[in-house]
Chain A
Amino acid sequence: MTPSEALAAVVSGEDAAIFGYSVAGAHLADGGRRRALTGLDAHRANRDRAAADLVAASATPPPPAPAYELPADVDSAAAARALMALVDNRLVGLYADAAAATTDADRRWAARTGAECAMRAVIWGAPPQAFPTGSVQ
């Protein structure tokens, strides 16, 4: 996998996460809503960073998908938290790929950002995993 391929996958994954957080955040109140908004900001910043790296490498960042299929109806606060846990855990693998494909500062950013995703997933209620992945359990 080339660095550009890995970063393009991160951009697409973060776009999906932005969609998921936007849907989920509407079902939370108070502290949960604030935490969702903070996570949404983080995912937007991550998407922008990966897209900027692609542009710097003379590659074109992929556009967001026209629509995203949710794995389950998001009709409650619990479902909202489960959705955010899922998207964050799935991102961990994309960032691990990006860490493998890049070097130096980009690799450090990818590893650190993947760890942040895994932390958020557990905060949203996912069980910790030895190798965090977003497979549906």
Chain B
Amino acid sequence: MTDPGVPASVRDTPRIVTRRQGLIGAALLGTAAVIGACSSSPTPDSPTGAAPSPSPADVVVADERALIALYDETIATLPSLRTALQPLRDQHVEHIAALTGAAPDPGPAASSAGPSAAGSSTADPKAAVQALIAAERAAMRQRIDACVVAPSPEVARTLAFIAASEGSHIPALKDVPV
């Protein structure tokens, strides 16, 4: 996996291209439509009762909630990291919404999360960010595994996007100044 350190020189591009909608080969067109289809097509498997064995999407939803709890606990313990961590935390809320078809529920404010939510937060910023990196890496791998056994192509597509998002959180977290 390409995952080198991120020197500061790479990070001084504030935004990707800000020109008109540009094309780099027709083959790269149409991804926005893919996203639209993905986020507007709720997955069919969100049972309300107890299922004999949880579907891959159900396992991912539970895991996403645990990730959100870890972010909330970290932000509650280390408020100075909120600016860096909150956007990443909120993307996991969007992952749950895409998997369940429900509107994004931002959940409780981070400040209300007790220190027992995930049980592994630390007051050391460097260690806390490392814990989040490890959690995101494990999440990415689990999403890839879940993608392989997804019950439908649509769920597989959604899980592939979620794996990509969580993979992209790793270099973002490595760039958090701690």
Contact = CB atoms under 8 A, between A and B. Distances in A.
Contacts of A92: 31, 161, 164
A120 B163 contact: no
A111 interface: yes
17 contacts: A13-B27, A31-B9, A68-B24, A71-B17, A83-B24, A85-B13, A86-B24, A92-B161, A108-B148, A112-B1, A114-B164, A116-B167, A117-B164, A129-B91, A130-B94, A131-B38, A136-B17
Interface size class of B (residues with CB under 8 A): 35 or more
Given A107-B147, A107-B148, A128-B165, A133 B35 contact: yes
B49 interface: no
A127 to B, nearest CB: 8
Contacts of B147: 99, 107-108, 111
B26 to A, nearest CB: 7
B25 A16 contact: yes
Interface of A: 9, 11-13, 15-16, 19-20, 31-32, 35, 38-39, 42, 62, 65, 68-72, 78-79, 81-83, 85-87, 89-97, 99-101, 103-104, 107-108, 110-112, 114-137
B92 to A, nearest CB: 8
A121 B31 CA distance: 15
A124 B165 CA distance: 15
Contacts of A108: 144, 147-148
Given A93-B30, A125-B16, A15 B157 contact: no
Contacts of B53: none
B63 interface: no
B35 A99 contact: no
B13 A13 contact: no
Interface in B32-91: 32, 34-35, 38-39, 87-88, 90-91
